[in-house]
A and B are shown apart, each in its own frame.
Chain A
């Protein structure tokens, strides 16, 4: 029952924020919809270790901060390439995700793809992400380092 409740609350909040109608009838409706979606998703029985929650939250905030800085820097780089017609050296490079879980690999791939100038084209069973970059030489050295840090943070978040 606990995993369902854990999923039900964020789903209900999601519904309430989306509809922005705090009348009782809509709140009940939100609970029904959230319950239905939670039942469809069938959450896992994994237990929360409350001792690790503050550390995980701090890691999540740090992870989002790094992602935002990456977004701003790479966005500006791509804008410069397009506006000033700078030369590019595109290509696909292999980057090991370094994550044990599929969720970690998926989140890493999302973080890479949401950053302009880098895009995951394929992931193999070993978790190697084949990433298309606008500047292969620059990206190859910095991306592996960035991915190691990302994998460590994700490990702390989802421990």
Chain B
């Protein structure tokens, strides 16, 4: 293993771990499920992606396999966040904040009504 790869791995492990920790911290600090998804669903994924970069650099895991895993994570992560947020909205989980353009849209479509939102 060359010193450059070692250096890349160390930086990726440190930054990746920090991102993962920030994701967990965001889960506790942010006020509702929608804002928490920004922290856990995406900042957390950066952490995992950077840890994968470190794994590719210092272990026998091939670059091709690592790149495909990173690509799959970057595709699947946002889809999961969207699915959870959409489901949460439809079952009426409260949202912090005043502006909500979607409320009007859902209530103007017959058959697609979500529950009445309760402001926390």
Contacts and interface: CB of A to CB of B under 8 A. Distances in A.
B105 A94 contact: yes
B35 to A, nearest CB: 5
Contacts of B82: 109, 113, 119-121
B43 A20 contact: no
A122 B64 contact: no
B39 A114 contact: no
Nearest to B28: A82
A119 B105 contact: no
Contacts of B46: 71, 75, 116
B31 to A, nearest CB: 8
A85 B64 contact: no
Contacts of B19: 75, 79
Contacts of A85: 29
Chain A's interface size range is 35 or more
Chain B's interface size range is 35 or more
Q: Which of A75, A79, A94, A121 gathers most chain B CB within 10 Å? A: A121
Contacts of B35: 88, 90, 134
A115 B30 CA distance: 17
Contacts of A115: 42
A132 B26 CA distance: 16
Contacts of B43: 75, 78-79, 82, 116
A93 B34 CA distance: 13
B22 A92 contact: no
Contacts of A79: 19, 22, 43
Contacts of B101: 92-94, 130
Contacts of A121: 34, 82, 85-86, 89, 102
Interface of A: 14, 16-18, 20, 71, 75, 78-79, 82-83, 85, 88-94, 109-110, 113-117, 119-122, 124, 128, 130, 132, 134, 136
